[in-house]
Amino acid sequence: MTTSIERDEIEAGIVDHAPRFDDEKRDQLAEDARDAVHATPAGVADQFTGSVSLDKTPEDGGAVVEYLDEEPVDEDERAAWGLRPIIPESLTDPGVWRQRRAVLANRAAFHTVRSPVYLWRAVSLVGIGARVGVRDAWSYLFATEFGEIADKVRRVKADPHHIADLRADRRKEARERRREAVTVYAMTGFTTYTAALLALGQTWGMILAAPALIPVFGVLYFLGRREMIRRSPDLPFAVLDNAAEMATDGPVTDERITRALRDIKLMSAEQEIKPSGLATRDELGNTTVEFKTPAGLVCKAIKNKAEQFAGALGLPVERLDIEQGETPNDVILWVAATVPFSGEAPISPLVTAKQWDIWNGVPFGGNRKGVRKVLQVLWSSLLFGGAQGYGKTSAMRLPAAAGALDPHCRMLLADFKGGADWEELEEIAHRVIIGADPASVEEFIELIDELIEEMDDRFAKIRRMPKAQRPDMRLTPEMAETHDMPVLMLLIDEIQEAFGVVLARKDGLKEFAALVEKLARLIRRGRACGLIIIAAAQRPSARSVPTDFRDVILKRYSVHTVDDTSSDMILGDGQAKRGHTAAGLGQIGVGILAEESGSEKIMTDWISPQHFTDICARGRALRIAAGTLTGYAASGLLSVVGILAEIRAAFDRAGVDELGSADIARLLHDQDPAADWGQREGESDRAWSSRVGARLGREIEEALDGSGRTLDRVKVTTLAGTEGRGFRREDLNLVLGA
């Protein structure tokens, strides 16, 4: 029973465990309860420990356990309560520092390239400053403003006495200015500085004396800059350019985003974005910038103009990902370091894996942000589709390889294409169906019936298990091992070919509907008991691959298609309208993965045909070692008894890969002295070697009679280190099919 309590009190649940406890257990529980609550007020525990209480005098002797719906508090979190971070996150986040270094490096490179421009601007400013300085000094020392007044008076034809008075005043003012203390000090300082500079030049040379000119250039630069600002007071002036505004490459910064939004008319010249937090850069060089847009501009508007926005940033749209934050004005911009999927596909980790556990999922590929994608295929089947030649079969190899490397995964193959794509898988598959002829399709229908029967048997086994062993009626690794219920992986390539054969029959529509219903039933229910179906079709239309079959497959992957309609046939209706379409992808190994949680573009890992051959060979060896090679694949194994078993034991005992005939005879004699493999009394070495060699050949030929296989003696290195005739372990394993 669960109760809801107002005033923010904690919700409590009461569970009656009386039928499960005996008297001894109830006494122990009572003691534990008292120990848990004895230090709390009124015998009620606080919200972190919960409370356990027993009815002391129940009529039926039952016990009641009371618990609180409160998650345990992490000890690290508890220890951190009340503490304030001392060091700001901006100083400890490695992603922030990577972005800072990138911005600084870009600005340094930008300014270094433009340094000749900056030098010319500085020299020009110094020249302007020198001219302005001389002009202003001359004007002050000679009171030129009086001359300007005299010119104005002359133009209005004033009395000559006025002009004469003005000239007299000018001479008087000029003499007073030249006698001022400031003027005298300035002239004295300038003369002294010039004399010192000449003396340094005579003593050390003008090159070494050049740093003494820095103050002069500094003053002249200041005068020139002031003159430029005076000429254009409304225009900003700077010798150095703004790297963020002028650069069309390099790190994306707040300034660059603001300029781009202004360029595409989403913001006015007065508006700008406000950063939300700090820009970060991951190990791959991808940048994430969070910002808040001005009022009137929402994230959706930027998404709608994603191409124009990318162009304004000087980037291809494939490098951008725009997401909305908490509010419509919060934008999360992700920028890729390079164009996603522009490099070669990574080699699958399954290529080098010695063994794999299908319960850990299938390493599938990476998305545009470089995040690795692992598919959990046990609880949802897979449908592959798309045009030929764009990597559909290569992508399908990934789950097949994962199943092949798990010796406890039973592989079932139905290849209706009939080519050589899955030839290697025949070495480990329990059932193999090749081709789309009527007999193969009939065998496929029988296989589906067998799988349905197996599914029903497994569910019956699971229902008979104690509830503690089947918490959610799903197969677990422990159940699979204990009750002999291995994971079943059924690969169906070009399933539309099988459907086409069924439809061509006399009662084709009826049989077709029945087959589709059986497959849908397997997919819906079989996933809970360890059945995985991996199907592929080029263009699964409503007729060739009906929706009743497609709709129950929760994971789908499509490579390039010719149009949105074909893409939706694989990925699901409406995916193209939501922006997830495989139409026009045009890149081998790149497709759209649609899952229950959403859809995204994926570049799948690469497994070449040669890699797949090696993987299947390892899978066969793993199954032989684990004793799980069954069905079709096991039909090629010879029964390892008699002389073949004895020779294998001899190799294992010697621990080498090559043995001479005499070496094998000695080892066989040690294993069974009564078998007459040893050297007889008085028998020469030559005669003994000839006898045991002939006997080995005869018994091996008898053991292999009717199998179509031979095990011939070849030149080997004996245990004594000499060359001789004998056998190799590799040849023995090949003959045995192992």
Higher pLDDT, 44 or 437: 437
Q: With b meaning 16 or more CB within 10 Å and e meaning fewer, what string describes 464-488?
A: eeeeeebeeeebbeebbeeeebbbb
Higher pLDDT, 162 or 714: 714
Higher pLDDT, 713 or 113: 713
pLDDT mean over 138-151? 77
**How do residues 681-709 score in pLDDT, each as one tens digit?**
888 888 888 888 888 988 888 888 777 77
What letter does residue 2 receive in the DSSP assignment? B
pLDDT mean over 48-59? 40
pLDDT mean over 340-362? 93
- Residue 582 token pair: 């495989």
The DSSP-derived string for 576-595 is TTTT---BT---TTEEEEEE
3-state secondary structure of 381: coil
How far is residue 600's CA from residue 607's CA, in Å, rounded to a whole number? 21
pLDDT of 592 > 90? The answer is: yes
- Overall pTM > 0.85: no
pLDDT at 248: 57
* CATH 3.40.50.300 placement within the chain: 376-615
pLDDT at 357: 95
Lowest mean pLDDT of 164-178, 337-351, 368-382, 424-438, name the range: 164-178
pLDDT at 187: 82
**How do residues 468-513 score in pLDDT, each as one tens digit?**
888 788 888 989 988 889 999 999 999 999 999 999 998 888 999 9
Q: Phi and psi at residue 222, in whole multiples of 5°?
A: -60, -45
pLDDT at 549: 84
Higher pLDDT, 626 or 148: 626
CATH T-level assignment (fold) for domain 376-615: Rossmann fold (3.40.50)
pLDDT above 90: percentage of residues in the chain? 30
pLDDT of 2 > 70? The answer is: no
Amino acid at 375: L
How far is residue 556's CA from residue 682's CA, in Å, rounded to a whole number? 76
CB-based burial label for 113 (10 Å; 0-12, 13-18, 19+):
exposed
pLDDT at 25: 61
pLDDT above 70: percentage of residues in the chain? 83
Quickly count: other Cβ atoms within 10 Å of residue 613's Cβ.
14
pLDDT of 180 > 60? The answer is: yes
Token look-up 């000695």 returns 666
pLDDT mean over 636-650? 77
pLDDT at 672: 84
Lowest mean pLDDT of 142-156, 212-226, 238-252, name the range: 238-252
The pLDDT confidence band at residue 84, using thresholds 50, 70 and 90, is: very low
Beta-carbon-side half-sphere exposure of residue 419 (alpha carbons within 13 Å): 6
3-state secondary structure of 117: helix
pLDDT at 705: 77
pLDDT of 59 > 80? The answer is: no
pLDDT at 13: 45
Average pLDDT, the chain: 81
* CATH 3.30.980 placement within the chain: 243-335
The pLDDT confidence band at residue 395, using thresholds 50, 70 and 90, is: very high
Contact 26, 64 (CB under 8 A): no
Lowest mean pLDDT of 238-247, 350-359, 645-654, name the range: 238-247
Answer left, alpha or beta for residue 51, where phi above 0 means left and psi between -120 and 50 means alpha: beta
Higher pLDDT, 594 or 189: 594
pLDDT of 654 > 70? The answer is: yes
CATH number of 243-335: 3.30.980
Higher pLDDT, 26 or 366: 366
Largest CA distance in the chain: 159
Token look-up 């087959």 returns 515
pLDDT at 1: 42
**How do residues 193-207 score in pLDDT, each as one tens digit?**
778 877 877 777 767
**How do residues 244-270 score in pLDDT, each as one tens digit?**
555 556 788 888 899 899 999 999 988
C-alpha angle with apex 171: 165 to 175, nearest 5 degrees? 145
Taking each continuous run of H as one helix and of E as one strand, the counts in the chain are 26, 20
pLDDT mean over 56-80? 43
The pLDDT confidence band at residue 458, using thresholds 50, 70 and 90, is: very high
Q: Using alpha carbons, select from 599, 544, 608 the residue that is nearest to residue 573.
A: 599
End-to-end CA distance of the chain: 60
**How do residues 524-551 score in pLDDT, each as one tens digit?**
999 899 999 999 987 666 666 788 888 8
What letter does residue 369 receive in the DSSP assignment? T
Q: Phi and psi at residue 65, in whole multiples of 5°?
A: -105, 130
